[in-house]
Amino acid sequence: MSTSIEHSTGDWAEVLALFGAGDDLTDFQRACLDEARSKARDHHPGRDVPLPVPDALEHLVAGRADSTVPYAGNSYQRALHLLVSSCGSDVLTLATHSSPESVYRALDGQLAAAGVPAELLPCAYLYGDPPKEFPVLPHSTDSYPALGHLPISRTKPAADAYRAVLDRVDPGLRPELERLTELLEIEHSSWGRQRDEEWYPRLTVFFYLG
């Protein structure tokens, strides 16, 4: 069974405002929530799981994530995916692997050996959980789904570090590193000119695992 890693870009504060928002929503927030609810109904009805994703989504909007039924963490994490993706840019696929963590852990090892700082290694953000400002949610029972993130302000430092050591990475892993580097370069070129905007420090590349 393969696992995909997808990504989109958005302002984490727009998502944070939906936690516990209830009915007190701006027009933009209501549009985001309506989209998330629609995706939950259409793609994750979950009639055969203890906590259906649509119900988990309503828990988050109500400001709670306290269900203790089996696999509740999976449903909360999927609901988080839907909230985040509905508040940002189009969701695109970065890669699909039978064991993505194995691929990126191997890449981490080679990049670290080449001198890339620990905070810029791929797993530090692909598997780094949501922004610290988000409420803590139960993790998925089997690791997926999960959410990672990288601030836009760190995309260029990471991409530059990868480019500098690309020729020292095993040829079998270079396509993965090149794909990731190109994504980070595109994100920087798309948003870097707006670094003086008030919202720029909150702008984030979100990674959806599973």
Q: What is the pLDDT along the chain (210 residues), one digit of tens a residue?
A: 799 999 999 999 999 999 998 888 899 999 999 999 999 999 887 778 899 999 999 999 999 999 999 999 999 999 999 999 999 999 999 999 999 999 999 999 999 999 999 999 999 999 999 999 999 999 999 889 999 999 999 999 999 999 999 999 999 999 999 999 999 999 999 998 898 999 999 999 999 999
At CA 135, angle to CA 131 and CA 141, rounded to 5? 90
* 104 touches 162 (CB < 8 A): no
Q: Is the pTM of the predicted complex or chain greater than 0.75?
A: yes
* Domain encompassing residue 56: 3-209
Contacts of 17 (CB under 8 A, 6+ apart): 26, 29
The sign one gets for the Cα dihedral 36, 38, 44, 45 is positive
| AA identity, residue 61 | V
Number of domains in the chain: 1
Q: What integer pLDDT is reported at residue 185 of this predicted model?
A: 98
CA distance 53 to 108: 33
| CA separation, residue 157 to residues 81, 93, 96 (Å) | 26, 22, 25
Cα–Cα distance for residue pair 76/66, rounded to 1 Å: 10
Rounded CA gap, 6 and 172, in Å? 21
